[in-house]
Amino acid sequence: MLHSVDTCSCHFNAIPLHRCHNRYKNALVRPSGTSQSHDTSAASNMIRSFLLVAAVASATSARVMDSLAAVPRGWESVRPALPEETVSLRIALKQQRAEALEQAVLDISTPGHPKYGRHLTRDELRSYTTPSQSATLAVTRWLEDHNIQTAVADNDWVTFSTTVENASHLLKTDFAWYRNVENNIELKLRTLAYSVPDEVAPHIDLVQPTTRFGQPVAKRSTIFEMHHLDANAANKIKLAAAGQANCNLTITPDCLKWLYDIKYKPTDSIENTIAFASFLEQYARYDDFQTFQSRYIPEAQGQNFTVELVNGGLDDQNSWRDSGEANLDVQYIHAVSHPAPILQYSTGGRGPLIPTKTQPKPPGTNEPYLEWLTYLLNQTDDKIPKVISVSYGEEEQSIPRDYAVKVCNMFMQLGGRGVSVIFASGDSGPGTHCIRSTDNATFFEPTFPAGCPYVTSVGATYLTNPEKAISFSSGGFSMYHPRPQWQRTAVEPYLRTIGDTYAPYFDPRGRAIPDISAQGSNFNVIDKGYNSLLSGTSASAPVVAGIVGLLNAARYTLGLPSLGFLNPWLYNNSDAFTDVVAGAGVGCRRRKELGYGGASWNATVGWDPVTGLGTPKFGRLLQLAAPGVANA
């Protein structure tokens, strides 16, 4: 019998889980437990281990949470893990009111709803995401029964380290060391399947890293290409006036303001802060930022950006690593929105990945979204920025479904707190290799996290008067997320137009990508002292983030809240975008079934999977977001 016990402080604070249990273990009549038998012998063939796990799970009334039919492509078993070796794991507990939270976020994000704009505080959000008392108790008891006393609870997450022997008994599996066959160096401690007891399974979403092999991605960021310019070429661009002729060739801050009619200037108030995320040891450079200002925005000289370090991230201004992505982000958020403050999140670490044909190497290039998102959601209400731009992504099928869904849930939580999250859609059109991992069939490659309905996905255009879809702009339909209600009216006419074209190669029921688009070709960026031209949806995303930041700043002058989760508002105001009806996103060139030239998503009247609703008309967006505020 469970007695009512206040566990709020256990849920709301990162404290050792056993202390929570000690508060109320005297109120709990614990059922007698039975020791689970476990075969600790080393198996050279890990497929045999998988079959054994399934059999044991069945015999002991446990639920298999995840399993792989074989060692993933690109990996090989090296040896069984030793019992005394250490493994660190993270358990995601089921949220007590997950469905109610989703409805609440939709209500506060839908124009015309009585709750529109009434964003949640951190504590209000946690009233939805906090796991139930029974979930916390069950997981606490389960861990303690396996001599795990040092687990730490942080709302709906529990983290702990233990021995391989303990973890193997806990999850009814065998851990082993696996090697990346591509580099013959990278080792991962993983298993091919894991189970949890039936009485615990209803309280757990996932345990990781277990079956997630850290096979790396090929796309490091969504920069498509980058070229350095000599001094003469750079000076000519600096002196050129914004206009159709010059802006067809290369993009400067003045081009974007001319093309999208951006005249509004915000204040430098801290509430107007716009953030961007940097991963993979890429750091924006202060010297390059100042050079960019002096060359392209002389009136902004003297402003700088700030950096927050997350999960061991650094701010290495002398790094030999690529800085093009981070410099592009900070310079073009600044180009559109100065003097609004800019914040860079520099996040360390690398995350889990499933190997695919498109993304087999090199080692460790998958971004640790969970660590970054956990950090963000723990921020107090006055510390969390209301616009965040992210220009990183990968093939959706390379991400385990439960991981992708959990990350998307966390983006939804940010939306609930009034944050607009902007993601580049990717730079591979319908896909690169276009091979489905499960059966090697031809299939288009939607991108992650752009496929999450709770982020705003941004495609790319080029040229002016009119703008056209650029060939690398990614789009399509998510494999994991169904199409939301707010998107159906815009997307379904497109599906009717194309009929059965490419029908075997995508799921037409999925969330459609992208939502909107912006210029993405030949952006002038200062990188490591050079004037460079960068192209990609990586350029488009910070432009949109800057525009959303301006809209929020204008709303604040009227006493209105931030726009928050944008997508229902965008689709409700499609007339605020210039429809792009020419060009196409092209990919899948290696698949014979698709013929010479591969496959293409064409830009057309209305929404399409290369430019979305189109490119922004800032004056109209400002009128809708902040009625009466002048675009001046």
Query: CATH code at 467?
Result: 3.40.50.200
pLDDT of 262 above 60: yes
467 backbone dihedrals φ, ψ, rounded to 5°: -75, 150
Q: In this structure, are 400 and 526 located in the same domain?
A: yes
Does residue 329 form part of some domain? Answer: yes
pLDDT computed for residue 232 by the predictor: 59
Residue of 519, 619, 555 lying closest to 224 (CA atoms):
519
The separation between the first and the last C-alpha atoms of the chain, rounded to the nearest angstrom, is 66
Residue 447 lies in domain: 264-625
What is the reported pTM?
0.85
Does residue 5 form part of some domain? Answer: no
Reply yes or no on whether 102 is catalytic: no
DSSP class of residue 200?
T
Q: Distance between CA atoms of 278 and 316, rounded to whole angstroms? A: 12
Helix (H) or strand (E) holding 377: helix 369-377
Reply yes or no on whether 325 is catalytic: yes
Residue where one domain finishes, among candidates 208, 223, 246:
208
User: Rounded mean pLDDT of 130-143?
Assistant: 93
Does residue 375 form part of some domain? Answer: yes
pLDDT computed for residue 476 by the predictor: 98
Does residue 247 form part of some domain? Answer: no
pLDDT computed for residue 238 by the predictor: 58
Q: What is the pLDDT of residues 281-304, one digit of tens each?
A: 899 999 999 999 999 999 999 999
Q: What is the pLDDT of residues 338-351, one digit of tens each?
A: 999 999 999 987 54
Lowest-pLDDT range of 144-148, 216-220, 378-382, 395-399: 216-220
Strand 420-424 to strand 456-462: parallel, antiparallel, or no bridges (unpaired)? parallel
Q: What is the pLDDT of residues 62-104, one digit of tens each?
A: 999 988 777 876 789 999 999 999 998 989 999 999 999 999 9
Q: Distance between CA atoms of 327 and 286, rounded to whole angstroms? A: 9
Name the domain count of the chain: 2
Residue where one domain finishes, among candidates 143, 178, 208:
208
Q: Is 39 annotated as a binding residue?
A: no
Contact yes or no for 348/311 (Cβ under 8 A): yes
User: Rounded mean pLDDT of 488-494?
Assistant: 97
How far is C-alpha 21 from the chain's CA centre? 34
pLDDT of 3 above 50: no
pLDDT computed for residue 590 by the predictor: 85
Name the pLDDT band for 223 (thresholds 50, 70, 90).
low
User: Rounded mean pLDDT of 250-258?
Assistant: 96
Q: In this structure, are 291 and 427 located in the same domain?
A: yes
Token output for 81? 């893990």
Does residue 518 form part of some domain? Answer: yes
Contact yes or no for 125/416 (Cβ under 8 A): yes
Q: In this structure, are 292 and 157 located in the same domain?
A: no
Q: What is the pLDDT of residues 353-385, one digit of tens each?
A: 444 555 443 333 334 677 899 999 999 999 999
Q: What count of Cα atoms within 13 Å lies in the side-chain half-sphere of residue 291? A: 18
Q: In this structure, are 287 and 364 located in the same domain?
A: yes
Q: Distance between CA atoms of 378 and 123, rounded to whole angstroms? A: 10
Residue where one domain finishes, among candidates 188, 208, 228:
208
Residue of 312, 425, 353, 379 lying closest to 208 (CA atoms):
353
How far is C-alpha 98 from the chain's CA centre? 19
Q: Is 579 annotated as a binding residue?
A: yes
For residue 339, say if its preceding peptide bond is cis, omega within 30 degrees of 0: yes
SS3 string, 305-330, reads CEEEEECCCCCCCCCCCCCHHHHHHH
Residue matched to tokens 């994991």 = 480
- Residue 414 forms beta bridges with which residues? none
Q: In this structure, are 370 and 284 located in the same domain?
A: yes
pLDDT computed for residue 227 by the predictor: 61
Q: Is 164 annotated as a binding residue?
A: no
User: Rounded mean pLDDT of 135-148?
Assistant: 93
pLDDT computed for residue 594 by the predictor: 87
pLDDT computed for residue 49 by the predictor: 47
pLDDT of 487 above 60: yes
Judged on CB neighbours under 10 Å (0-12, 13-18, 19+), 339 is: middle
pLDDT computed for residue 437 by the predictor: 81
Higher-confidence position of 472 and 211: 472
Q: Which one from 329, 402, 427, 467 is the annotated catalytic residue?
A: 329
- 3-state SS class at 253: helix
Does residue 371 form part of some domain? Answer: yes
Q: In this structure, are 180 and 281 located in the same domain?
A: no
Contact yes or no for 425/457 (Cβ under 8 A): yes
Q: Distance between CA atoms of 523 and 247, rounded to whole angstroms? A: 10
Q: What is the pLDDT of residues 542-566, one digit of tens each?
A: 999 999 999 999 999 999 999 999 9
Q: Which one from 66, 288, 325, 445 is the annotated catalytic residue?
A: 325
pLDDT of 246 above 70: yes
pLDDT computed for residue 349 by the predictor: 72
Q: Is 310 annotated as a binding residue?
A: no
How far is C-alpha 275 from the chain's CA centre? 14
Q: Which one from 49, 323, 478, 538 is the annotated catalytic residue?
A: 538
Q: In this structure, are 285 and 194 located in the same domain?
A: no
DSSP class of residue 397?
G
Lowest-pLDDT range of 155-169, 198-212, 221-235, 405-419: 221-235
Strand 420-424 to strand 530-535: parallel, antiparallel, or no bridges (unpaired)? unpaired
User: Rounded mean pLDDT of 397-405?
Assistant: 83
Sequence-separated (6 or more) residues with CB below 8 Å from residue 564: 108, 109, 117, 119, 386, 415, 416, 417, 418, 419, 420
- 3-state SS class at 413: helix
Does residue 446 form part of some domain? Answer: yes
- 3-state SS class at 477: strand
Residue of 144, 187, 172 lying closest to 40 (CA atoms):
172
Reply yes or no on whether 329 is catalytic: yes
pLDDT computed for residue 9 by the predictor: 38
pLDDT computed for residue 48 by the predictor: 47
Q: What is the mean pLDDT of the chain?
A: 85
What share of the chain has pLDDT > 90, as a percent?
A: 69
Q: In this structure, are 204 and 287 located in the same domain?
A: no
Does residue 235 form part of some domain? Answer: no
User: Rounded mean pLDDT of 12-25?
Assistant: 45
Lowest-pLDDT range of 45-59, 198-212, 531-545, 583-597: 45-59
Name the pLDDT band for 35 (thresholds 50, 70, 90).
very low
pLDDT computed for residue 593 by the predictor: 85
pLDDT of 241 above 70: no
